[in-house]
Amino acid sequence: MSVIDHNAIELPRISEASVADYIALLKPRVMSLVIFTALVGLVIAPGHVHPVLAFTSILCIAVGAGASGALNMWYESDIDALMSRTVNRPIPRGRVTRPEALAFGLILAFFSVMTLGVLVNWLAGGLLAFTIFFYVVVYTMMLKRWTAQNIVIGGAAGALPPVVAWAAATGSLSMEPVLLFLIIFFWTPPHFWALALFRSDDYARAGVPMLPVVAGPDATRLQILLYTVVLVAVAVAPWPLGYFDAVYGVTSLVLGAGMLALAVNVYRLRTGSQALRATRKLFAFSIVYLFVLFATLLLEVVVHAVAPSIW
Report pLDDT for 307: 65
Report pLDDT for 5: 47
Report pLDDT for 16: 75
Residues 19-171: name the CATH superfamily.
Answer: UbiA prenyltransferase (1.10.357.140)
Report pLDDT for 172: 96
User: Which DSSP state fits 96?
Assistant: S
Nearest CA to 164 out of 8, 248, 60 is that of 60
Q: Which residues of the chain have pLDDT under 70?
A: 1-15, 307-311
Cβ atoms 285, 266 nearer than 8 A = no
pTM: 0.92
CA atoms within 13 A on the CB side of 120: 36
How far are the Cα atoms of 21, 235, 245, 292 from residue 249, in angstroms, in the given order? 41, 8, 6, 12
User: Which DSSP state fits 171?
Assistant: S
Report pLDDT for 48: 87
Cβ atoms 101, 90 nearer than 8 A = yes
**pLDDT tens-digit readout, 41-68:** 999 999 889 999 999 999 999 999 999 9
**pLDDT tens-digit readout, 243-265:** 999 999 999 999 999 999 999 99
